[in-house]
Structure 1
């Protein structure tokens, strides 16, 4: 197989059809013969039939997951493997040696070091790692340590409650101090409890609400030289929906460049990671979350001119492009909208037909 024919694999894309579109456009722009292989565990997901080919994988929790993924790799010999799922990334980079093994075979698996992948998954640990490299982040405690925050809090002070190991703002609540204990208990009821958990309140974290406005920032490092910052993109969040940015306006990323460089170096990152940052009136940035993947906010900068998929493919196929891939227009407002597509036909429902009931 010629290098330019080698496919790329996008796993757990789910509803992110735009990501597949933009990689397909980058393939065409660079004149490659590459294909996009979709790896999903749900054959009827929106993304499953949207690539050039699809392979069904078991959930990452299934004991056969590794064998099936390696079977896919043997079949297609891809040059790039992406996942858009936080828990699958944790499995690839930390719980197993799968990512290391794939890289040993010459497959690019973007991400961060195992230590930082673990930190990104554990929001308590992440706050400590950020402190260690001089990046500002809100003081963070577990739900069982509330006294450390409440001793100095006024009743009107606001706090953020969320799952310590959550994704997409799971367990999230914004409450004043006098409702904090109630919010922690409520969040703990919906937590994904780990096997080694001894106190469910330790699975919830609490932080003082960061001052200022919230931004989403994508930072991009080289895929061939880990930790070398290649681009920074930013947008101010205007509206959130289901844990993702729903409307945003693109902004100058300069105020976030120092933070981006510190994280890129410390995390030994390659490719794109997504940061959630608050910026106060003095221009001080506080990082509240890190997602080591294409996040739901990337479309806002792509539609304004950035092109990270083009950069990815130029790197993995050794092609030269100019720096315009990281140019984007500031002040562009974009909003998400909903579409529906057919993903399967001839399916028989397990639900029995129900007759209409007339109510007098």
Structure 2
């Protein structure tokens, strides 16, 4: 009997759609796939319920997080680890060689890249230096010292936030709070349509064709309704963005606004599978398949025949345990 290829989806939560993408990708390359999943409370995770095996893991900020995953990967023959939330990227990037030593490929960019994308101010500085269009951005401290010349309203958001946490649109300086629970930045408010651009960067730095989608409706920071859109200028921005990040690797996504006055402006990067990735996969992207191929040391597939105009309409569904 042929042993299945075993992968681990960490912080699995509600990522049932991503789980399906990996299963369909494995079927295309005729690989028996066994998906393991972990979460803080796996009994309350839909993706864990749908996985072949599941277990409880400590928070990624806990000292036992990496040792727990290492022990599990070693004991269960895990060949691929795919993180799904921003806060676990840095510890996994730092421990990537430890996992490699036991035969586990961790789908994560270099620690240098993760350090950049986890700091939204630094992200804007790095992208601007590389010629990638970004909105005017300042730390809150910089803004308080020199806020002249800014147009109102502006956005205030955490330097290392995610999932739209802590974002506020303020109309005047008087609306700024005296203090915030974490470092904040101020960003020029943009208008126009918002897009997510999904991309895949191989270990050698080559970027495969990007797949953008229009974010038609958002819920809790994640696209609820979206439509793939082929835009040549977005492809150029994606390539310049990938080149600006030292050690970018695997699947990433970034958000941009197509401001009618300023043109496209990148607002943030997620160095992981985005919540809307299943739309790109359905349209013909083969990024999840390439993650499997990377871990299995198979040749990657390169294609630019993804379908424009594919619409995703999400709805709530229940898992009964």
Q: How many residues align?
A: 319
**Residue 153 (1) aligns with residue 150 (2):** yes
> Matched residues in 1 for 2:160 and 2:300: separation?
38
> Matched residues in 1 for 2:262 and 2:121: separation?
25
The aligned residue for residue 175 of structure 1 is 170
Deviations 1:163-188 (A, max 9, x none): 11111111111232x2x442x428x5
Could you tell me how far 1:42 is from its partner in structure 2? 1.0
Do the aligned partners of residues 220 and 322 (structure 1) sit closer, same or farther apart at CA in structure 2, a change above 3 Å counting?
Answer: closer
Could you tell me how far 1:146 is from its partner in structure 2? 2.3
Asked whether the 8 Å contact 1:248–1:335 carries over to 2, the reply is yes
> Matched residues in 2 for 1:67 and 1:51: separation?
22
Aligned Cα RMSD in Å? 2.4
Please give the TM-score of this superposition, normalised by the length of structure 1: 0.81
The aligned residue for residue 90 of structure 2 is 90
**Alignment equivalent of 1:237, drawn from 199, 207, 215:** 215
**Alignment equivalent of 1:299, drawn from 278, 285, 301:** 278
Asked whether the 8 Å contact 2:199–2:238 carries over to 1, the reply is yes
Structure 1 runs of 4+ off > 3 angstroms? Answer: 103-106, 147-150, 280-284, 318-324
SS in 2 for 1:49: helix
SS in 2 for 1:315: helix
Asked whether the 8 Å contact 2:200–2:207 carries over to 1, the reply is yes
Asked whether the 8 Å contact 1:42–1:48 carries over to 2, the reply is no
> Matched residues in 1 for 2:276 and 2:5: separation?
28
The aligned residue for residue 77 of structure 1 is 77
**Alignment equivalent of 1:185, drawn from 164, 177, 187:** 177
**Residue 262 (1) aligns with residue 231 (2):** no
**Alignment equivalent of 2:125, drawn from 108, 125, 128:** 128
> Matched residues in 1 for 2:100 and 2:130: separation?
27
Could you tell me how far 1:79 is from its partner in structure 2? 2.2
Do the aligned partners of residues 104 and 230 (structure 1) sit closer, same or farther apart at CA in structure 2, a change above 3 Å counting?
Answer: farther
> Matched residues in 1 for 2:52 and 2:299: separation?
25
Could you tell me how far 1:307 is from its partner in structure 2? 3.1
The aligned residue for residue 55 of structure 1 is 55
Please give the TM-score of this superposition, normalised by the length of structure 2: 0.90
The aligned residue for residue 220 of structure 1 is 200
Could you tell me how far 1:279 is from its partner in structure 2? 2.2
Q: Which has the larger radius of gyration?
A: 1
Asked whether the 8 Å contact 2:8–2:78 carries over to 1, the reply is yes
Do the aligned partners of residues 283 and 228 (structure 1) sit closer, same or farther apart at CA in structure 2, a change above 3 Å counting?
Answer: farther
Could you tell me how far 1:91 is from its partner in structure 2? 2.3
Asked whether the 8 Å contact 1:110–1:269 carries over to 2, the reply is no
> Matched residues in 1 for 2:146 and 2:221: separation?
25
Asked whether the 8 Å contact 2:154–2:188 carries over to 1, the reply is yes
Asked whether the 8 Å contact 1:221–1:231 carries over to 2, the reply is no
Aligned 1:41-52 pairs, distance under 5 A: 41-44=40-43, 45-52=45-52
Could you tell me how far 1:36 is from its partner in structure 2? 0.8
Could you tell me how far 1:29 is from its partner in structure 2? 2.3
Gaps of 5+ in 1: 194-202, 344-360
